[in-house]
Amino acid sequence: MKHWGGIRVFQGSSPYMIFSTVLRGMLSSIGVYVFFFATVLTPGQTISAHPVPANETSTKTPAIVIGFVGGFIAHDNPVHSEVQLAARLRKEYPTGVEVETFESYRGQRAHRKILTLLDANHDGTLTVEEKQNAQIIIYGHSWGGAESIYLARALKKDGVPVLLTLQVDSISRPGSNDTTIPTNVAQAANFYQSHGLLRGHHDIRAADAARTRISGNFRFDYEESSLNCAEYPWYDRILVKPHTQIECDPIIWARVESLIRANLPLVAPSGSAQ
């Protein structure tokens, strides 16, 4: 076997066969180079197995649901209703809705997460359009309820609107105010009870009633309730019983969930028609 210009040719082959083999090899090599230069080195050329129309290159901003648990509870503790609600929403809305839960003291982390999700073109800066496209819902219990309002205020400074805030037996931190709803919030609701060592604020109000609708301040009474919240720690069930009962009350969270779903009109749940 001999080599002609890197092409293997068997000994004993006729000149015609040798010429044909060499020619085929040259043509094959030329074809490779032509393809390379035509597809790779041509200025402005983009290689794509499935060309994407120009109007489909941007990523649609998801609706965002942020939940805050109370006290020093872990953000993923499955015993707590805030976490259970988030799990149901993730299951029902596998696409188009981003659902996250945070500890009550992780407001800054939640804030950064929201800004990242709103940055549809990933350039590190929110445009006016990206801000206007925001669909944000924030809910929480106890300190988490208060953190919902603190986060809404932080988003107001960014010029980002909020669809809905939901507070369940909201308790503010010392020196803070969680009863005045900022003007970037379109709708707010408050669920509270008035007994025990820890009790939620009974009256939220809009900073500007023309821009924020207060759906209601809904009072619940657990003095004669048999709701025992068996999966919650014993000290919660004894020391702050009503405050714990409102957190584990399925009626409360059904109403919270209903309000959240009502504010996700552009996204159909899993299995539903678009």
pLDDT score of 3 more than 80 = no
Task: Convert the pLDDT of each residue in 36-74 to its tens digit.
Answer: 333 333 333 332 333 333 333 345 789 999 999 999 999
- CA–CA gap between residue 235 and residue 1 (Å, rounded): 88
pTM higher than 0.85: no
SS3 call for 264? coil
Task: Convert the pLDDT of each residue in 159-173 to its tens digit.
Answer: 999 999 999 999 999
- 22 or 204: which leads in pLDDT: 204
Structural domains in the chain, CATH included, are 1-57 (no CATH), 61-262 (3.40.50)
- CA–CA gap between residue 128 and residue 224 (Å, rounded): 51
* Full DSSP string of 23-79: HHHHHHHHHHHHHHHHHTSSTT----SS---GGG-SPPPPEEEEEE--TT--TT-TT
